């Protein structure tokens, strides 16, 4: 590294909040630009060349997005992001099952865009069951690799002919735990229910094979994998690719022009879906290389923090002993010091003390408390999300800045 490059790193703010959002990849911006000018037409206007050109761009984006996931194009419904996708999946499934089945199953570490719709359905009379995950605690160090993983035996015990939908995210947004989605799917389908999984955090860090997963509904959000904000997708299974499978028919949440197979009316965001398809393609192409690189950077960061802050604690599964965890995730606690205080004193480091999507609601992280972590430790926690553009120099500097902030707060 040259002196000039070293000075540039030293003076920059290091962004470590990639679970919240990511910058748009320059290649994604390049493919989106024509959609704001020469190809600006409404994809729903089929009476002239401008609309037809936009419609072809949308169709091609749908084909590419589906192909990257190993599914057909007509199984992809474009939305405004994973919050809308989750709501469409949960409310749409509940409406379809109404009068036939009355139970919805989830786990306590889900994102608010899953838990809140389910709580609303509970208020409307649905029976909601929250299945436990393996908890964090010194009382059972043998479970350190499984922290946050759903208890499959407990899940199986609550499933019945009354179960309509099970919603469990592929990868968690705070502690990065990866769920055994194929095993979950087999249990859910044995009960005749549908499985929804939020794959928002998984893209770019693990293989995306929806046929292997066997989930019936899968949510995505482009801005989590270097695509634009305000666009996402919901996979809705139409093909019968597993034993006993039936095409999924949701009840729509948005009515109007009948776009997106009638499940999500509204003018399609042409630049957004074009950019999202490109972002998914790039994420898949770069996954192996970048996942390994970022895992090494996380190791550098974790080792540096442990050396300078010996009392620091790891929240979530321990990847060093085989815990299923996203390679870009690190969630730590510094006992006796609130995470918010560390954030304020660590000048030049941008990170989060909890889920950004729920930051407007004060309180302790529901994910951490669902893991059995006490309130004091939860308040002392920091969520760190690394990305594919980080360098070792940046990570080392971030570790130094965080360590200095803790030292000053201790003093």
- The catalytic residues are 357
Q: What spatial distance separates the first Cα and last Cα of the chain, rounded to whole Å?
A: 34
CA-nearest of 71, 76, 121 to 268 is 76
Q: What is the DSSP string of 257-301?
A: S-TGGGTB-S---HHHHHHHHHHHHHHHHHHHHHHHHHHHHHHHH
d(CA 284, CA 95): 34
Looking at residue 357, the DSSP 8-state letter turns out to be G
* Integer angstrom CA distances of residue 317 from 124, 137, 181, 184: 35, 11, 17, 19
List, in sequence order, every residue forming a beta bridge with 384; answer none if it has no partner: 330
> Could you give the C-alpha distances from 262 to 2, 161, 285, in angstroms and in order?
56, 29, 32
Beta strands in 62-210 (DSSP E): 76-79, 103-107, 127-131, 163-167, 194-198
8 A C-beta contact, residue 167 and residue 107? no
Structural contact between residues 51 and 43, judged by C-beta atoms closer than 8 angstroms = yes
- Residue pair 248/33 in contact by the 8 Å Cβ criterion: no
Residues in a beta bridge with 131: 107
Q: In what order do the strands lie in the sheet with 329-333?
A: 313-314, 329-333, 381-385
Question: Is the distance from CB of 163 to CB of 193 less than 8 angstroms?
Answer: yes
């Amino acid at each position: 590294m040259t002196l000039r490059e070293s000075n540039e790193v030293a003076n920059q703010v290091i962004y470590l909040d990639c679970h919240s959002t990511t910058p748009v990849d320059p290649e994604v911006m390049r493919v989106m630009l024509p959609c704001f000018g020469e190809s600006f037409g409404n994809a729903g206007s089929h009476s002239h060349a401008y609309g037809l050109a936009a419609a072809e761009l949308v169709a091609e984006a749908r084909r590419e997005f589906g192909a990257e996931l190993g599914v057909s194009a007509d199984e992809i419904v474009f939305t405004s992001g994973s919050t809308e996708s989750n709501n469409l999946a949960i409310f749409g499934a509940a409406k379809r099952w109404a009068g036939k089945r009355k139970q919805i199953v989830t786990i306590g570490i889900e994102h608010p865009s899953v838990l809140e719709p389910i709580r609303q359905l509970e208020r409307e009379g649905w029976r909601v069951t929250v299945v436990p995950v393996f908890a964090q605690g010194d009382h059972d160090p043998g479970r350190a690799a499984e922290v946050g993983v759903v208890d499959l035996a407990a899940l199986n015990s609550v499933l019945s002919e009354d179960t309509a939908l099970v919603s469990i995210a592929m990868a968690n947004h705070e502690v990065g735990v990866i769920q055994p989605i194929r095993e979950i799917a087999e249990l859910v389908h044995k009960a005749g229910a549908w499985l929804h999984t939020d794959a928002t955090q998984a893209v770019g860090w693990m293989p995306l094979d929806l046929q292997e997963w066997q989930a019936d509904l899968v949510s995505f959000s482009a801005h989590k994998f270097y695509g634009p904000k305000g666009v996402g997708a919901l996979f809705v299974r139409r093909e019968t690719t597993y034993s006993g499978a039936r095409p999924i028919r949701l009840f729509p949440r948005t009515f109007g022009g009948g776009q997106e197979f009638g499940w999500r009316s509204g003018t399609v965001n042409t630049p957004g879906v074009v950019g999202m398809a490109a972002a998914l393609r790039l994420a898949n192409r770069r996954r192996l290389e970048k996942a390994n690189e970022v895992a090494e950077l996380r190791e550098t960061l974790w080792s540096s923090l442990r050396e300078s802050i010996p009392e620091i604690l790891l929240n979530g599964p321990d990847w060093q002993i085989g815990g299923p965890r996203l390679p870009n995730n690190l969630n730590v606690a510094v006992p006796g010091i609130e995470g918010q205080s560390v954030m304020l004193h660590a000048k030049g480091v941008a990170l989060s003390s909890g889920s950004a999507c729920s930051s407007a609601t004060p309180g302790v992280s529901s994910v951490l408390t669902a893991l059995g972590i006490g309130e004091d430790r939860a308040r002392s926690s920091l969520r760190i999300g690394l990305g594919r553009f980080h360098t070792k120099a940046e990570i080392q500097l971030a570790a130094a800045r965080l360590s200095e902030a803790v030292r000053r707060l201790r003093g």
